[in-house]
Amino acid sequence: MEPVFEIIAEPNRRAILSLLVSSQQSVGEIERQLRMPQPSVSKHLRVLREAGFVESTVDAQRRLYRLTPEPLQEVDAWLAPFRRFWSAHVDALERHLDHMAQSTPTKKQPRRRRRGPNRERDKGETK
Amino acid sequence: MEPVFEIIAEPNRRAILSLLVSSQQSVGEIERQLRMPQPSVSKHLRVLREAGFVESTVDAQRRLYRLTPEPLQEVDAWLAPFRRFWSAHVDALERHLDHMAQSTPTKKQPRRRRRGPNRERDKGETK
DNA sequence: TGTATATATACCTTGACACGTATATGCTCT
DNA sequence: AGAGCATATACGTGTCAAGGTATATATACA
């Protein structure tokens, strides 16, 4: 189950990671804060550890787990192209809104469509 | 299967999203570029559409799919605290390396541990 | 109208994984 | 050594989703 994205698909694991972002925690602390059975915590931690999301150190009977940057940075890297996309998208939206504002404010505004009457978006789906 | 993270856990879906970041594509184009059976493409697109990752418009027999920003922005938002974490982490690492460099270069350097001899990290696991 | 093209959906099967429960391992302290 | 705490692992179970194959729907074009 290696791949990074599948690992953070699990809500409990994301919760654990979010917990660790503030500081390292023992298994018991995680168990209590997330109100999750101990074997479950241990198992998720194992997955996270083997995938490099966390490291552990031994403190007597406890194990302290803490974050490791790499895997989440990988996710961040994957996201980069999309960030560029949606910043461009916001710009376009802003221009659009500006345009709306200066034509007929507070009215539904039929807004002529591209290429011929009633095509494209008009019969669009998106669900 | 709603949740955003589970949706991008699927490699083929990530591939589709990455394809769409450059421009909108028809199902057939995606099918060919990713060399993936058509029903598979359609099914993944359906999931992506219902989760708001993409929109579609009808162009005769084709459907053109294009990206929508929101859901991936949500992922990006979740990542934010971790970004803060690992930038701090890099700083610490840099300081550490600086320190190493000016003490005993090219030697293993026992590096006194916190709290008593041979504890903590010395018996550490991380696998 | 019929045929080809483009896309969506239905159905089935299989595998993975999250969960619970029980138990093992390891450490501490008396 | 024994009891108790902290954590890990083993095993059985149910669920769910991805893939494959077949088929339905819709549009273009002759």
Same domain, yes or no: B30 and B85: no
Q: Do B49 and A124 touch (CB under 8 A)?
A: no
Domain membership of residue A47 (yes or no) is: yes
Q: Which residue is nearest to nucleotide C19 (CA to C1')?
A: A40
Domain membership of residue A124 (yes or no) is: no
Domain that holds residue B96: 69-100
Decide: B75 and B4 in contact? Cβ < 8 Å.
Answer: yes
User: CATH number, domain at B37?
Assistant: 1.10.10.10
Decide: B59 and B48 in contact? Cβ < 8 Å.
Answer: no
Q: Do B21 and A124 touch (CB under 8 A)?
A: no
Same domain, yes or no: B8 and B52: yes
Rounded Cα–Cα distance for residues A68 and A121 (Å): 45
H and E: helices and strands count for chain A: 5, 3
Nearest to B19 by CA among B43, B4, B36, B5: B36
Residue A6 approaches strand C within 7 Å at CB: yes
Same domain, yes or no: A9 and A63: yes
Nearest to B64 by CA among A86, A97, A114: A114
Tell how strand A25-26 and strand A62-67 pair up. antiparallel
Q: Do A11 and B21 touch (CB under 8 A)?
A: no
| Tally of CB atoms within 10 A around B62 | 14
Minimal Cα distance from B51: which residue of A? Answer: A127
Nearest to A64 by CA among B114, B61, B87, B109: B114
For the whole model, what pTM was predicted?
0.79
Same domain, yes or no: B75 and B64: no
| Residue A50 contacts B, CB cutoff 8 Å | yes
Domain membership of residue B127 (yes or no) is: no
For the CA of A64 and the C1' of C23, the distance in angstroms is: 23
pLDDT digits (tens, 9 = 90+) for A24-56: 999 999 999 999 999 999 999 999 999 999 999
Please enumerate in sequence order all residues whose Cβ is within 8 A of that of A49, keeping only pairs 6 or more positions apart, or say none: A55, A56, A65, B126, B127
Rounded Cα–Cα distance for residues A66 and A57 (Å): 9
| Residue B114 contacts A, CB cutoff 8 Å | no
Q: What is the pLDDT of residue B104?
A: 56
Same domain, yes or no: A46 and A89: no
Of A23, A50, A68, which residue is a domain's last?
Answer: A68
Minimal Cα distance from B80: which residue of A? Answer: A76
Distance from CA of B126 to the nearest CA of A (A): 5
Q: What is the pLDDT of residue A102?
A: 73
What are the tokens at A73? Answer: 């940075």
pLDDT digits (tens, 9 = 90+) for A50-97: 999 999 999 999 999 999 999 999 999 999 999 998 887 777 777 777
Same domain, yes or no: B29 and B84: no
Rounded Cα–Cα distance for residues B66 and B55 (Å): 5
pLDDT band at B103 (very low <50, low <70, confident <90, very high): low
Domain membership of residue A85 (yes or no) is: yes
Domain membership of residue B45 (yes or no) is: yes
Nearest-CB residue to B121 (from A57, A69, A124): A57
* Total of domains in chain B: 2
Domain membership of residue A108 (yes or no) is: no
Same domain, yes or no: A57 and A97: no
Same domain, yes or no: A64 and A76: no
